[in-house]
Structures are given as structure tokens and as C-alpha cells.
Structure 1
Amino acid sequence: MAIKATIHKAQIQIADMDRNVYGEHNLTIARQPSETDERMMIRILAFALNVPADDLRGRLELSKGLADADEPELWQRDLTGDILHWIDLGQPDERRLLKAHGRAERVSVYGYAYSTPIWWANIESKLTRAPRLSVWQIPAEQSQSLAKLAQRSMQLQVTVQDGGIYVSTAEDSLEINPIALKRPQE
């Protein structure tokens, strides 16, 4: 018998001064047995960094993630079902990213392992025809510290200011400084 997903709940207060996005969001996360605390918390962080200011063009949602290889970790779809923003985590291969680029208005990747710079160096030249792709590296030490905040029920405050991200709970806080490996072309 297969092990079922564990349900986690996160109440997130977001104050993103860089994008003028503020609000409170309640997430229910179905954490698959193969998913680590680190990956789950990076999913939550990616949500906080990409949630739109309003739902006029659709909501940002957690997808089935690891349970469905054809879906990203998060996505924003409009009311017709078209994908506005495809968000992946880790180190997806270039075929997956090019396919996503063909389906979505924007594609973002958040890498969080020590090997992210090596992965990126190997596929960067293959993604030159993906102008709407952005790739971010969350330093591994910072993503591992973020993983320590994981609980079955969480209350998180995420503040973004001048490119720095501050995540805090009632007991702890940390700073995350993502590194842009690729930004979308204007």
C-alpha cells in the first residue's frame, strides 16, 4: 500500500515592498512522502515571492507537484485555463523548461542545492531561446535554515525589501538572499 501525502497548513503574511503586494494567504500543502521539508518550504517561499497582488488574471496555486510530473510545483492560470506563470523547483532539465516556456507566459525556476551552479552551467546555453525564463538560486545554507521552520501547522511572515527576503515565525527568523542566474529579457 502506498504511503499517502501528509497535509501541512501554512498561514502566510506577505509584505512584498518591492512589488507592492501585501496580504494573508492560507495554504494547504499535500507533502508527498518523497518530498523533504526543504523542498516544501521552498514551495511556500516561491508562492510568497510570486503571488499576484490580485486574482483578476487568476490565482497562484500549488499544483500536484511531485505527484504529477506534467505539472509544475506552482502555477497561475487564467479563467480560461491558460498558464500565465509556471514555477518549478530544483534542477529541471532543459526539455521540461522549453516545453513549459511554450505553454506559459512566464517560467520561473528556484534551485536550492549546492549543485545548482553546476546544473545551470550545463544547461544555460540550451535555454537562450527562452526569453521569458527566470532562474533563481536560493543558497543551500539558507534553504536548509528555512527547512528548520517547517511544521505541520505554520504561521509565517514573509517580508521582501530591496531584494532581500526575511522569513519569520514566532520563535525564529532568517534572511534569504536569492541569486539571479537568469532574468527574463525585456
Structure 2
Amino acid sequence: MALPSTIYKASIQLSDIDREIYQTLQITVARHPSETEERLILRILAYLIFHEEGLVFTKGISAADEPDLWVKGPDGRVQLWVEVGLPESDRIIKASRHSEKTAILCSGKTLAKWDQQHLLKLNRLPNLLIKGLDYYFITKLVSRLERFISWSVTITEGILYLTVADETIQTPIADPVDSLN
């Protein structure tokens, strides 16, 4: 018998000053039994960093032909394809051909190695946006993860400030592509 997904509910006060987005978001997200808590946190943060009208979580890890999040137009075409973690460059190249915009929110213990292996190929894609978050920031959030998430998130000047309970932690939203130039 397969294990069921774990459901997380979140209430997030988002103030993205850089993009002038100010919203209270109520989201429900399922964590597949094979998905790590780090990846779940990264998906939620991607939802906030790339937030736009129509952005939704997909089946993700349980559907190989779908991204982690996407925006689909009224005609069913993918307007925004969002991946998290350290995806294979071939997958991103294919996604960029089938979507108007493609985005990756990178994080992981082996991010530096991933950068060396994939960024040169990915840098050629005109419709790709790559952002990165510090892995230790993610692990700190994992240590405070609960099934009912209540966060206040402010993004300003490329820095993400996240308040959970009475503690505010911060991390830059890095642009790995800049390291090539």
C-alpha cells in the first residue's frame, strides 16, 4: 500500500517590494512521501518568489512531465514553468521550448557543482530566469516546519526576509548566472 501525501496549509503575508506585490496568500500543498522537507520548503518559496496571477502547484514529483509550479493560459499553453532544486539542464532546455518563460529556484548541498555542470548550457536560453537560495537558510526553515505554516515574507533589493513565530531570518535571492559574467 502506498503512503499518502502529507498536507500542509500555509497563510503567508507576502510583501514583494521589488515587484510591488502585497498579498495575503492561503495555500495548500501536498508533500509526496518521497519528497524531502527541503524540497517542499523550496517549492513554497518558489511560489512566493515567482508569484503571479494563476501560479499553481502541479503534481510535481509524481508527474515527470510537469514542473513544480506553472501558469497556464486560457488556451492551455504554459506561460510560466517553474522548477526547484538542481534539475538536469536537458529538462530545462526542453521546458524552455514549450513555455513562454521558464524559471528555476536552485538550492542544495551540491549547488556549486551544479552551477559548473549546467549554467553554461542554460545561460543561452533567452526565456530562462535562474535564482538561488542558500541551502542553510532552507535547512533552518525545515527545523521550524509545521503542518500549519504562518509566515511573513518581505522581498526587497534582492533579499528575502522571512518571519516565523518571533524570529526573522534572511537570505539573498542569488542570481547564479551573474557568476558567469
Question: TM tier, shorter chain?
Answer: over 0.9
Q: Which residue of 2 aligns with 1:170?
A: 165
Show the counterpart of 2:42: 42
- Deviation of 1:107 after TM superposition, in Å, equals 1.0
Q: Match for residue 95 of structure 2?
A: 100
Per the TM alignment, residue 88 of structure 1 is displaced from its structure 2 partner at its CA by 0.4
Answer yes or no: is 1:26 the counterpart of 2:21.
no
Q: Secondary structure at the match of 1:179?
A: coil
CA distance in 2, matches of 1:24, 1:122: 38
1:181 Cα deviation (Å)? 1.0
Write the distance in 2 (CA, Å) between the matches of 1:128 and 1:40: 26
- Please say if 1:110 is aligned against 2:105: yes
Name the SS for the 1:182 alignment partner.
helix
TM-fit CA distance, 1:2: 0.7
Matched letter for residue 25 of structure 1: L
Q: 4+ runs of 1 displaced by more than 3 Å?
A: none
- Which structure 2 segments of 5+ residues have no match? none
Aligned residue in 1 for 2:144: 149
Q: Secondary structure at the match of 1:24?
A: strand
What is the percent sequence identity of the aligned residues? 31
CA–CA distance in structure 1, aligned partners of residues 79 and 143 of structure 2: 32
TM-score by length of 2: 0.93
Report what 1:2 is aligned to. Answer: 2
**Which secondary structure does the structure 1 equivalent of 2:175 belong to?**
strand
Residue number in structure 2 paired with 1:182: 177
1:78 paired residue number: 73
Cα distance in structure 2, aligned partners of 1:8 and 1:102 = 32
> What's the RMSD between the two structures over aligned residues?
1.4
* Mapped partners of 1:37, 1:174: distance in 2: 18
Q: Secondary structure of the residue that 2:104 maps to in structure 1?
A: strand
Local SS of the residue matching 2:35: coil
- Unmatched 5+ stretches in structure 1: none
Matched-pair contact (CA < 8 Å) for 2:153–2:162: yes
Matched length:
178
Contact 1:61 1:76 in 2 (8 A): yes
| DSSP-derived class of the 1:160 partner | strand
